Amino acid sequence: MDIRLDSLKTSVTGGVAGLTLALGVAAGTAGAADFPEAGSTITIVIPNSPGGSTDTTARLFADALSKALPNEPNVVVQNRTGGNGMIALNDVMRADPDGYTLGILEATTVVLPPVLEGRDYDPLEIEWIAQINNPLYLAVASKASGLTSIDQMAGTGETFVQASTGGRLDGSTLGARMTGMAMGFGVNPIPHDGASEALLAVIRGDVDWMQGTFPTIYAQIDDVVPLFTYTSERIPNLPDVPSVAELGHADLLKLNGLQLVLGTTPGTPDEVMAVLNAASEAAFMDESFREGMVEANQNAEWLDASETRELIQAKIDLFGAARDELLKE
Amino acid sequence: MKVRHVVTLLVAALSAAMLAGAFEYAGTAAFGFPFAVSGIVLVMALALLVADLRADRADRADRAAEPASGAASGDPVPEQERDRPVDWAGLATIYAFLAGFLVVAHFVSYLVAVPAFLFLFGVLFCKERWVPSAVLAASVGLAVFVIFDQFLPSF
Amino acid sequence: MYDAILPALGVIFSWPGIAFLVGGTLIGMVFGILPGLGGGQVLALLLPVTFALEPEYAIIMLIGAAGAVPTAGSVAGILLNTPGSAQNVATTFDGYPLARQGRAGYAIGAAATSSLLGALVGAAVLITILPLGRQIVLSFSYPEYFMITVMGLCLIALLGEGSMWKGVMSAGLGLMLAFVGADPIEGLVRYDLGTDYLYDGIKLVPVMIGLFAISEALALLLDKKAVAGERIEFGMSGVWRGSLAVFQNFGTFLRGSILGTLIGIIPGVGGAVANLIAYGQAKATAKDKSSFGKGDIRGVIAPESANNAKDGGALVPTLIFGIPGSLDMAILIGALMVFGITPGPRLMLDSPDIIMVLIGTLVFGNVLAGVILLGWAPYLARVTSLRSTTVAPVILVLGLLGSYATYGNFGDMIVALVFGLVGYFFHAYGFSRVALIIALVLGGLIEKNFYQSMLVFGIEGSLTRPITLGLLLATIAMLVYPALRASPGALLSRAARKERIKVSKDEG
């Protein structure tokens, strides 16, 4: 949900900017060197409504980024929900490539449409800056299912009813199905509107299992049975719960989870990118950002620009390889 | 054919289009509800149209036979709405003004579009006097500016 | 838990708590009155502001604002036939006819009073059942959700606007519109006509603004009349009589509040359905229902008491499971989590003080909003006496901006204009705008909950669940009861009237 009338207004400023651009061409392209100009506004577009993980992360990051950039521009968060993330992504893709429009997007949501639906864009075209949040992701079973560990599922070939956090072709559902394929059990996803509804179904015992983020599940952890975490090592809060790497499936780490990645419009000049990359790293290191993230139960995990591209590439490859399997039935 | 029948026909056309579209999703959950509901609506719209047209014809025949009566008729068909005259010119003019509003809002700014619409619409369509129209346009424009421009984007 | 009540009141009524309460309530009321703006927007607006505050004060401001929205939302519905959100739809059924009769003050008085008292009942029920809330929430699963939405849809049969045949057709159209966009199971996008705009389906707010506000403005302009005719009650006396009417119809009020609270507990369906079911219940159980839809005050009292009481209910799943019952609650959970307060079973043990501040604010914020609205009512009622050429253009402009402001999408204004025409012709030719909007609200929920029920429980498994069965029987009773209740005398006189008509026709 977005409650601004910004784009109506930006059409005015856009017109004016177009005019000044036309008049200013002769003056040369000094713009990139001055990035960002004093008193300017940088917009971070996010695909989620206010209040959730992404929104919290984006707002904390926006404050830190404003301080870290030269000339301390305003950095504002714009909630552009809808179209399963496509509306926010389009805003970033179609903005002027001047570094004033950034996006904090969910990596899997960006990757899937071209890979599965043949949408016409290349996720690698976006100028990726960093991964700034990777909320801990874990699988839990319902108490009513009688499952106590992943061993009772893995390798059995049986099908387990999963409370999925989106539709059947949603990234989180596909991730769960690929986990099932890799571990040797079937997944029958029941779609829900988001993780908290799915979690309620697990607590009721209507389904066998689900996977979701730690901030959502942790408050109810006593009412569910943790199966494994999508981490490379066990986490301190759940010392008895195996990590997915320990189970021999480290490759599933890149498939599952809600990695939040920061990027900007394709074709943004290198000088601007250099400024953004440096400032983003400084913002990530900022004490208030990290403290805020800890307080909100988030997991600030840094990947730099090239590592972020690798993550995106890995998702493209892994989902692409499983495409036919996922789309059949 | 009267406007009332055109409305029913439009409903029928819409449901027919939806019914046809449903087959694109045959075999999936996307097929079930849209197929069932648009099918039912299509049948209901066609039945209404036929009953309505026949009732009209019967009515005309009645009226031709005995012009005095015709007020209380115990027709088995759905109740007859009076055929209200539609002020097409008025509707078209209002929508032309509204289209202008959208164009100005999109390409210039809603802050211009709101007072401009209220003033011009008041004077040209509603035949209000200049001064009250200008006062209304200015005050609503100001209120909109405060609420939407100053207040809403303040975060 | 209950010993945290007094300290919580201390926080709310000491400085600066009281200032945040008043400020939040006033802002919430402004948003509630404007068509298209509601709880989601006001919370999104206030959320970043509250990050700078202590958690208690942040909660006071957020809940104060969110609680005031449904109270103030009745205003546009009554005066201009424009429900501010889905939760005020039922208020228009009788509220607007009252305004047309020049009795807007009376309707607003009743709405404000039943909102205020409804919130009190909701909070009282909330405090009583919070310890049991867990069991209540867990006993509702997909089949129960499905039956509740079906119950909401069946209300269309009770509304009696225009002919039944066209009413059902209108509801079918509403359902068809609800099926546009991603389907709830596969996520396949249906009927998107190749645009991203329709990916999320046809949005409720622009349709609602078009069907009710814009079409009403068109009617006002083309008929060139004021909303109300010649006789208009000004001043406070009408407002007080509206207040009094709540006590004269206390049973209607109480049933509405309790139903509202209970439906509010059910995550996901509560907000949109509570006011409709309360209205249907009031009409179904009324002895004389002939005046419903033509300006019966009970038709204002029932939905308005329910839509404020449901906030108390909605806090149950929000606080116990962190499951938002509505967008408002989702944003509230986000705000709590920023302060390190995670809703969940431990919250009641760890921070009873926070829960009590929350409930206390809900109570006193609503009282404040109700009192303010009573004070404003005589002035607001004057809107109905303004000439149509003054009011209608303003409705058009505010309606369009409101439909845009919800999602910031230009296409929403075009949708609003299209549905303005739809609403105008629907009204002129006896189709039901209300049936369409109810079906549009519930269509997605019905489809989703149906498939979830079938996938998990199957038909037999669903129908053998006691609550589902109970709801099914209640729905049937709601549809059949009015017919049974009609006394033999009334049936006879109706039959006699038919006979008379027939005779007179034969004679003529």
Of C141, C323, C335, the CB nearest to A196: C323
Query: How distant is the Cα of C301 from the closest Cα of chain A, in angstroms?
Result: 31
Which helix (H) or strand (E) is A78 found in, with range? Answer: strand A74-79
Of C141, C183, C330, the CB nearest to A51: C330
Backbone angles phi, psi at A68, to 5 degrees: -80, -20
Q: What is the pLDDT of residue B74?
A: 42
Maximum average pLDDT range among C193-202, C312-321, C420-429, C472-481? C420-429
For the stretch C273-314, pLDDT in tens is 888 888 888 887 888 878 888 889 999 999 999 988 888 888
Q: What is the pLDDT of residue C117?
A: 93
Please indicate whether, in this complex, the C-beta atoms of B109 and A4 are within 8 angstroms of each other: no
CA dihedral (A41, A44, A47, A49) positive or negative = negative
Q: What is the pLDDT of residue A21?
A: 40
Query: How distant is the Cα of B141 from the closest Cα of chain C, in angstroms?
Result: 10
Going by pLDDT thresholds of 50, 70 and 90, the confidence category of residue C318 is confident
Residues 320-349 on C with a CB inside 8 Å of A are 321-324, 327, 330-335, 337-340, 342-347
Judged by a CB distance cut-off of 8 A, whether residue B130 touches chain C is no
Instruction: List, in order, residues 6 or more apart from A156 with CB less than 8 Å away.
Output: A184, A185
Q: What is the pLDDT of residue A50?
A: 75
CB C329, CB C87: distance < 8 Å: no
Best mutation site among C389, C412, C422, C436 for testing chain B: the one with the most B CBs within 10 Å?
C389
Q: What is the pLDDT of residue C106?
A: 93
Judged by a CB distance cut-off of 8 A, whether residue C142 touches chain A is yes
For the stretch C87-125, pLDDT in tens is 888 898 899 999 988 889 999 999 999 999 999 999 888
Please indicate whether, in this complex, the C-beta atoms of C322 and A216 are within 8 angstroms of each other: yes
β partners of residue A161: A188
By residue count, chain C amounts to 508
Q: What is the pLDDT of residue B39?
A: 95
Judged by a CB distance cut-off of 8 A, whether residue C41 touches chain B is yes
What would the mean pLDDT of B133-146 be, rounded to a whole number? 90
Judged by a CB distance cut-off of 8 A, whether residue B1 touches chain C is no
By residue count, chain A amounts to 329
Structure-token pair, residue C281: 């219940």
What SS3 class is residue C507? Answer: helix
β partners of residue A210: A140
The phi-psi region of residue A72 (left if phi > 0; otherwise alpha if psi is between -120 and 50; otherwise beta) is left
DSSP assignment of A8-72 equals HHHHHHHHHHHHHHHHHGGG-SGGGGGPSPTT-EEEEEESS-TTSHHHHHHHHHHHHHHHHSTT-
Least reliable range by pLDDT among C51-60, C65-74, C324-333, C439-448:
C324-333
Interior CA angle at C380 toward C379 and C386, to 5°?
A: 95
* Rounded Cα distance, A89 and A106, in Å: 10
Q: Which residue has the higher pLDDT, C53 or B22?
A: B22
Best mutation site among A168, A196, A298 for testing chain C: the one with the most C CBs within 10 Å?
A196
Please indicate whether, in this complex, the C-beta atoms of A3 and C183 are within 8 angstroms of each other: no
Size of interface B-C (CB pairs under 8 A): 160
Q: What is the pLDDT of residue C49?
A: 75
Best mutation site among C45, C46, C49, C342 for testing chain A: the one with the most A CBs within 10 Å?
C342
Q: Name the DSSP letter for residue A328.
A: -
Structure-token pair, residue C294: 């033509």
Of B106, B149, B153, the CB nearest to A11: B106
> Residue C503 class from Cβ within 10 Å (0-12 exposed, 13-18 middle, 19+ buried)?
exposed
β partners of residue A101: A43
* Rounded Cα distance, A168 and A326, in Å: 10
Nearest C-alpha in B relative to C190? B30
Nearest C-alpha in A relative to B154? A4
Query: How distant is the Cα of A20 from the closest Cα of chain C, in angstroms?
Result: 26
* Rounded Cα distance, A298 and A314, in Å: 23
Please indicate whether, in this complex, the C-beta atoms of A15 and B107 are within 8 angstroms of each other: yes
CB B94, CB C221: distance < 8 Å: yes
For the stretch C233-246, pLDDT in tens is 677 888 999 999 99
By residue count, chain B amounts to 155
CB C440, CB C449: distance < 8 Å: no
Q: List chain A domain ranges.
A: 36-134+258-322, 137-256
Backbone angles phi, psi at A257, to 5 degrees: 105, 165
Query: In terms of DSSP H, where are the helices of C199-344?
Result: 204-208, 215-223, 236-248, 250-265, 270-285, 298-321, 327-338
Of B18, B28, B102, the CB nearest to C176: B18
Q: What is the largest CA-CA distance in chain A?
A: 73
Of A55, A197, A200, the CB nearest to C334: A55
β partners of residue C473: none
Chain B residues within an 8 Å CB radius of C30: 147
Q: What is the pTM of this model?
A: 0.82
Query: How distant is the Cα of A95 from the closest Cα of chain B, in angstroms?
Result: 17
Instruction: List, in order, residues 6 or more apart from C508 with CB less than 8 Å away.
Output: B68, B69, B72
Nearest C-alpha in B relative to A75? B155
What would the mean pLDDT of C380-390 be, rounded to a whole number? 83
3-state helix, strand, coil in chain C (%, to 5): 80, 0, 20
Q: What is the pLDDT of residue B83?
A: 59
CA dihedral (C329, A92, C405, C205) positive or negative = negative
Would the CATH topology of A36-134+258-322 be identical to that of A137-256? Answer: yes
- Residue recorded with tokens 């419009």: A265
CATH number of A36-134+258-322: 3.40.190.150
For the stretch C452-498, pLDDT in tens is 999 999 998 888 999 899 989 988 887 776 666 555 545 445 544 54
Structure-token pair, residue C495: 């039959």
Chains touching B (at least 3 CB pairs under 8 A) are: A, C
Is the CATH number of domain A137-256 3.10.20.600? no
Read off the amino acid at residue C112: A
Best mutation site among A206, A213, A224, A295 for testing chain C: the one with the most C CBs within 10 Å?
A206
Mean pLDDT (chain C) is 82
* Rounded Cα distance, B51 and B58, in Å: 10
Judged by a CB distance cut-off of 8 A, whether residue C477 touches chain A is no
The phi-psi region of residue A77 (left if phi > 0; otherwise alpha if psi is between -120 and 50; otherwise beta) is beta
* Rounded Cα distance, A21 and A1, in Å: 32
Of C176, C218, C396, the CB nearest to B37: C176
Query: In terms of DSSP H, where are the helices of C101-248?
Result: 104-129, 133-138, 142-159, 164-178, 204-208, 215-223, 236-248
DSSP assignment of A197-265 equals HHHHHHHHTSSSEEEEEHHHHGGGGGGEEEEEESSSS--TT-TTSPBTTTTT-GGGGGTSS--EEEEE-
Judged by a CB distance cut-off of 8 A, whether residue C157 touches chain A is no
Structure-token pair, residue B135: 């006062």
Give the ipTM: 0.86
Please indicate whether, in this complex, the C-beta atoms of A204 and C141 are within 8 angstroms of each other: yes
pLDDT < 50 positions in chain A: 1-30
